[in-house]
Amino acid sequence: MSTLNVAGRDIPLDKDGYLVDLQDWSRTTAEALAASEDLQLSDEHWEILEALRAFYDEFQLSPANRPLIKYVALKLGTDKGNSLHLNRLFKGTPAKLAAKLAGLPKPTNCL
């Protein structure tokens, strides 16, 4: 198990780099996770992460790509809820990387 140091505190991560305890998530933690992925979070990223956290609150699971795209399209419009936009923001792995940055479990049907 590895850890991520955020503001002087070591936060445990699982073998894939996801938070062990979802309660450890914060915007600062998300920024540190993004930095470890060589990514700087913009407002565009944040609105997707917030939508993803709302999805998790509603369904208690992290969506795979297709449900993620549909949910974002429903909540934020089709200009943001499409695979091209999400792939651009999250390096071609939107469901996995966005879930990680949102402090959620790895989607179960993603390799």
Three-state DSSP at 12 gives strand
Q: Are 104 and 20 in contact (CB under 8 A)?
A: no
Beta bridge partners of 27: none
The pairing of beta strand 9-13 with beta strand 2-6: antiparallel
Q: How many Å apart are CA 71 and CA 34, to the nearest integer?
A: 22
Active site residues: 110
